[in-house]
Structure 1
């Protein structure tokens, strides 16, 4: 059997800090999904070819872009930018939230806004182990809702993510999540405890498997 190669993907941890706690947006994947059905995850999905061509309203922070480029062979700025675009596109498609400048002239199938990437922090990267039916090389971004001008009450469910809800990042008891989602959430907890502002250039972990061993490296 030909090994399944991981494809680029992006996920976003949208954070609401308007109350006494910090909450993150999650949703339940449909039972129709082949990959990780019936569990709660952050909005996200694979990078589309068209994400490279999307006009943006604001670029990635240079420190975030520099960190994303670590250990990426044949890295190009357009590829890294496309990953950030994918994260915001998926947030819109799966939870109905747009981050950017409205675009009145959008054609059918295009985003109705120009994504603003400037407030995205690069939190982590994870590569799905071999042997899975789907494999992804996923970049996880964080974004504060208030910085992006997002009203947390505007999040809505979709055919991709059901039961969209805000969850306390330090208390997600009773919410069934994949192991990698829990690990990324733990990374967020540690980062918030170190610095609540989540600096753009902080080291980011890379989760991967090599020779059957689970590894965590820093980028």
Structure 2
């Protein structure tokens, strides 16, 4: 494996600007039509306060409206249960589904990819009914303390062929630019956050263990404690 990419560690803000983490979701759209597996990534706009000009997967924070989005197919039971397996406050079925729906909404808003069936109602929030059935829950990561914006992000993955996605039809947006399909085993010279590099490493390991990425799996959870990055399994 070769890699010329630059992993960027986010410097903490001043202590007085600390914030509590907010729910967020990110999605790795995977293309396995060729010899290897590629993942869709794009560069965040320079106008962003959080991670400007870094290459990431599509994603963003969970909105209250995500709880009210209709969907065509539900999460795999193993994925739903894993999303609810947390330390601290319990996660309801509604919140777990809202996280998955946030990932698909952001994929559509940032890359123009609708994962689901066309919506019959013209006034619907999304022009499609999201299909959650093929989502894998890959990781959870919380932005370390000391940042003005912190997120409790759930990372999902889905194979483009399972979702019947045409990988040639992705559209840049103001939020995510220079969209690229990146070989997960041969990353080019992209500036990516440290946590993104870690999630990509976990993805490679998962694909090497079982290329189908089974739904029932141990999910790594990353968080900071006393200045150290901790990895545990959910």
Sort the TM-score into its range (normalised by shorter chain): over 0.9
The separation in 1 between residues aligned to 2:178 and 2:18, in whole angstroms, is 34
1:171 to 186, 189, 196: 186
1:126 to 138, 141, 162: 141
SS of corresponding position for 1:33: coil
Superposition pairs of residues 150-189 of structure 1, within 5 angstroms: 150-189=165-204
SS of corresponding position for 1:140: strand
- CA RMSD, 1 decimal: 1.0
The separation in 1 between residues aligned to 2:104 and 2:182, in whole angstroms, is 20
Q: TM-score, normalised by structure 2?
A: 0.91
Runs of 4+ in 1 over 3 A off after TM superposition: none
- CA deviation profile, 1:10-47 (whole Å, cap 9, x unmatched): 00000000011100000000110000001100000000
TM-superposed CA distance for 1:89, in Å, is 0.2
User: What's 2:53 paired with?
Assistant: 38
How many pairs align? 218
Say whether the 8 Å CA contact 2:83–2:91 is kept in structure 1: no
SS of corresponding position for 2:101: helix
- CA deviation profile, 1:71-103 (whole Å, cap 9, x unmatched): 152210000000000000000000000001101
Superposition pairs of residues 78-89 of structure 1, within 5 angstroms: 78-89=94-105
The separation in 2 between residues aligned to 1:214 and 1:187, in whole angstroms, is 15
User: What's 1:28 paired with?
Assistant: 43
Gaps of 5+ in 1: none
Gaps of 5+ in 2: 1-15
TM-superposed CA distance for 1:182, in Å, is 0.5
The separation in 1 between residues aligned to 2:102 and 2:202, in whole angstroms, is 21
